[in-house]
Amino acid sequence: MEYSLLGKTNFRVSKLGLGGAPLGGDFGDTTDEQAFRVIDAALDLGINFIDTAPLYGQGESERRIGQGLKGKRNQVILATKAVVRGVPYTYENTMKSVEESLKRLQTDYIDLIQLHELESVSYEAAMEGTVAAFLKLKKDGIVRAIGVNAGNIERLIPFVQDGLIDTIQTFGRYTLVDYTAKDVLLPLAREMNIGVIHGSPLGMGILTDRPAPFLAKYPALLEEAMKRKNELDFLHKNEPNGLVEPAMRFSLSCPDIAVTLTGTTSVDSLTRNAAYCDGVGLLSEHVARVLSLFQGKKLM
């Protein structure tokens, strides 16, 4: 397992992190026992960054992670988010969200708390409500670092520029078919020493040949994704889901991404993805070719 520093937090984090949405059952029925096996396997593989949210499984992901980490809490950098979709991002709601997360996670501190889904709140409201609450929690030692989360890159940039946060998390923006994060966001985060967490390196399942079910509502997107995948045949491995390894290595080897998240309820899948954390990226000529194909072209 490779490790890196998560921006100015100075947390030493595994390059591969465990994403918590599947552990809450968001992608299919999941039992407590499955979740505990994956958590134990992650620790055995050297993964020390776990990311979850109260939204995942309506608290089930946090509850299972809290239970699965009993007696092992000090082995991980534990990240969660606030608030739940549909709840206003006020100071009071944020404090309540974090209090409830602490109970479910069975811990008295959170290493990284992140504002979830910036798309749902304006910059001004976020700063006055959730970010203000985060800063108070950080001052009081209840959280060690604060961050923001969004799929929309443009929503992240003002928070990076103001310098108050420690991390950003985006998803699907440094993949083989959409690497728009590299244009402005990643260089800016590097300049400001903001740690970058990247989710969905497989493009919401597009690069596994099993797109997330909700993408069925976007046939034009799936059609474009298929065209782009066809241009990546030079990377395809002669095995099922032959773009998975190149896609994982593409994100894991990016020097500006501290943590790439993998979400799974399968120990076998987790073990395969962890094997790509060996310091070996794609061939330089292959990276150059990928980066020449879809420059500046957002997929989702």
Task: Decide if 56 is catalytic.
Answer: yes
Which region, left, alpha or beta, applies to residue 79 given φ > 0 means left and ψ of -120 to 50 means alpha?
beta
Token pair recorded at residue 113:
């708390």
How many Cα atoms within 13 Å fall on the side-chain side of residue 284? Answer: 0
| Burial class (CB within 10 angstroms; exposed 0-12, middle 13-18, buried 19+) of 252 | buried
Q: What spatial distance separates the first Cα and last Cα of the chain, rounded to whole Å?
A: 31
3-state secondary structure of 14: strand
Could you identify the residue written with the tokens 């209090």?
99
Are 245 and 237 spatial neighbours (Cβ–Cβ below 8 Å)? yes
- Geometric angle at alpha carbon 74, from 43 and 163, rounded to 5°: 100
Q: Which of 3, 56, 123, 179 is catalytic?
A: 56
What distance in Å separates the CA atoms of residue 199 and residue 191, rounded to the nearest whole number? 21
Give how far Cα 257 sits from Cα of 12, 27, 49, 75, 226, Å.
13, 25, 14, 22, 26
153-192 as b/e, with b when 16 or more CB fall inside 10 Å? bebbbebbeeeebbbbbbbbbbbbbbbbbbeebbebbeeb
3-state secondary structure of 159: helix
If one counts every other C-beta atom within 10 angstroms of the C-beta of residue 270, the result is 23
Catalytic residues: 56
